[in-house]
Structures are given as structure tokens and as C-alpha cells.
Homo-oligomer: A and B are copies of this chain.
Amino acid sequence: MIDVGFLNYLEDKLVKVDQKMVSYSSGYHPDLMAALDHLMVAGGKRIRPIVTLLMGIMLGAEEDKLISLGASIELLHTATLVHDDLIDGALLRRGNPTLNSHWTPAATVLTGDYIFAQAARLAAEIGSTEAMSLFAETLSIIVNGELSQLFGKSQVPTREDYYYRIYEKTGSLFALSARAAAMISPADRKYVEPAEIYGKELGKAFQIVDDVLDFTGNQERVGKPIGSDLRQGIPTLPAIYYGEQHPDDQVLLACLDGTATQEEADGLIKRINESGVIDQALAEASLCVENAIQNLEGFPEGREKDALSELGPFLLNRDL
């Protein structure tokens, strides 16, 4: 969980989200239980449930429903990560060994499926078929994004391609976190669209910063080598800006089609870090955060609105 002053008052609710996430797990296979415990301990910062809780409380939604919704969204996120790690062959996630590194692929596929099922059970608990539809649609968008990336061509994408890809990967689930919370609240429907845009823009900023940290981050704390996306042939915003400014750098294309040597990749990553594109990418993320905050205009005043406004700048300045 995020340990930061303006969110501390949510702690008891976030503990309930965590408890809800494993509420259907008892009675199942012991190896599966162990795997789920492992995933929970290695768990993320619960940013998506934080968005759900803040948006929902601000608009007067029932706490029980928000807890189920937050837990459901975090489980959906966890399930996609489990399958994603299998697909990437990743051995570390958030600096912890992934399930994939010590389980068979079969067990990993099934554990992801099991977590999907739990996510769907919690989503159904909320009692809103509208939220349920949105939940299922979001899963489609995420998976379609992963498939597109898998089948993608080894060329430098446009910024538009990149923005759509990070919407599929990250923005869509942030958008769900905020939109579904507004949907299940008794507040006016006029809040649903701006809530969604808030989530979408916040998710976009979050992913851009994530992609920047891949170039600049502390290798040990991130748990993977600097520039690992590019080394795997995945171009992110800094590389795209760099490609626009240096269309003749052949190493960039070589990285994307997997023919670059490690030394060439090291050199390119150094050039990218020194070229000013990192600041350019962070400026873009700042614009997204501003846009997110603008969409909160007209929402009920109070500490939830304040916290949603502070969340963006906080995510921009995180160093992991």
C-alpha cells in the first residue's frame, strides 16, 4: 500500500479490500492457497482500489460495495499480471520472484484463471449488471492489447499507437476503477463520464512514469535491468520521442527487431537518458495529471476530492 499522509485515513478500508481479495480462497487446493498468499504479500500499492474508494466515498456509494469493487479490480489486475509474467517469461516482478519462476506454466495459467474467477465473483457481488458489463469489457480491452503487442511489428510506433496501447494496458483499468465507483453510487449520472476520464488520464500518467522509470530507475529496486522494455523490443514514450528526433539511429530499429547486441543496447539507453526525452515524457505525464484534475471540477468538495487531486502529483514523483 502507498504510505503517504493524505491517504492514511483509508488504511482500514484498504485492509478490508485485502481481506476481500482472499475471501473466496479457503477450502481450495493448498498449493493454490500458498501461491495466492505469495501474490498478496508481493502485492502492489493498491492504487486502483484507492481510486475506487476515493471516487465512491466522494459520491456517496456504499462502503461494502466499494470494498468488493476495489478487491475485484485489484484481482483482475493481479490475474493479468500472472498471465503476463508467463507470457514474458519474467522471473521478477516488483523485485519479488514471480509465480512463473518457481511454478510450471500449467499451474501459472490455472492460477491466473482462478484469480479471474474470484474477480468475477466479487464483481457480481456488487449487484450491478452495468458495472459487471464494464468489468468484462475492460478485461477484453486489456487482453486485446496484450494480443496486439504479441503480434505487433518491430517498428517504431507513433505516439498515438503508444497512447492507445497504454490505454489498453493500464488506462482502461484505472478508468474502470473510477467509472464503476461513480456508477454504483447514488449520485447524479453526470459524474460518470468525468470520473472515467479522471481514471483514464491518471492511468496514462502512471504508465508513462512507469515507462520512464524503466530507463532511469534504480535497477535493484525495480528488479530488472535498466531499459528492459527496449531490450525486449518494446518501444515506450522515451524511445518514441528519441526515434522522432534521431530517425537515423539504426540501433533503435535493431533493438526493436531483436538484432542489437547488449553493448549497442547499453549505448542507446545511455543516449536516450542524455537526450532530454525523459523530461519530455515526464512533461506529457504532467499534462495528463492536469487533465485528470480538471475533470474533477464540479465534484463534491471534501477530503476525497482533495486526495484524488493529490494522487496525480504523488504518482508523478514516485521513484519506484
Question: A interface vs B, CB < 8 Å?
Answer: 24, 28-29, 31-32, 80, 83, 86-87, 104-107, 109-114, 116-118, 120-121, 123-129, 132-133, 135-137, 139-140, 143-144, 146-148, 150-151
Number of copies: 2
By a CB distance below 8 angstroms, the chain B residues around A124 are 129, 132-133, 135-136
How far apart are A20's CB and chain B's nearest CB, in angstroms? 14
- Name A's interface SS: helix
Assuming the contacts A87-B109, A127-B129, asked whether A121 and B137 have C-beta atoms less than 8 A apart, the reply is yes
Q: In the complex, what distance in Å separates the CA atom of A146 from the CA atom of B106?
A: 10
Q: Which 10 residue pairs across A and B have the least CB separation, nearest first?
A: A120-B136, A117-B139, A121-B136, A87-B106, A124-B132, A124-B133, A117-B140, A114-B143, A113-B143, A127-B129
> Of all chain B residues, which has the CB nearest A25?
B140
By a CB distance below 8 angstroms, the chain B residues around A126 are 129
7 new A-B contacts, CB < 8 A, other than A117-B139, A121-B136, A124-B133, are A86-B105, A87-B106, A105-B105, A111-B147, A114-B140, A116-B116, A120-B135
Of the candidates B106, B116, B139, the one whose C-beta lies within 8 Å of that of A150 is B106
Assuming the contacts A105-B105, A120-B136, A125-B133, asked whether A113 and B32 have C-beta atoms less than 8 A apart, the reply is no
Contacting pair B136 A117 (CB below 8 A) = yes
By a CB distance below 8 angstroms, the chain B residues around A31 are 147, 151
How far apart are A8's CB and chain B's nearest CB, in angstroms? 33
How far apart are A16's CB and chain B's nearest CB, in angstroms? 20
By a CB distance below 8 angstroms, the chain B residues around A105 are 86-87, 105
Most buried by B among A86, A107, A128, A140: A140
Of the candidates B24, B106, B144, the one whose C-beta lies within 8 Å of that of A114 is B144
Q: In the complex, what distance in Å separates the CA atom of A73 from the CA atom of B106?
A: 23
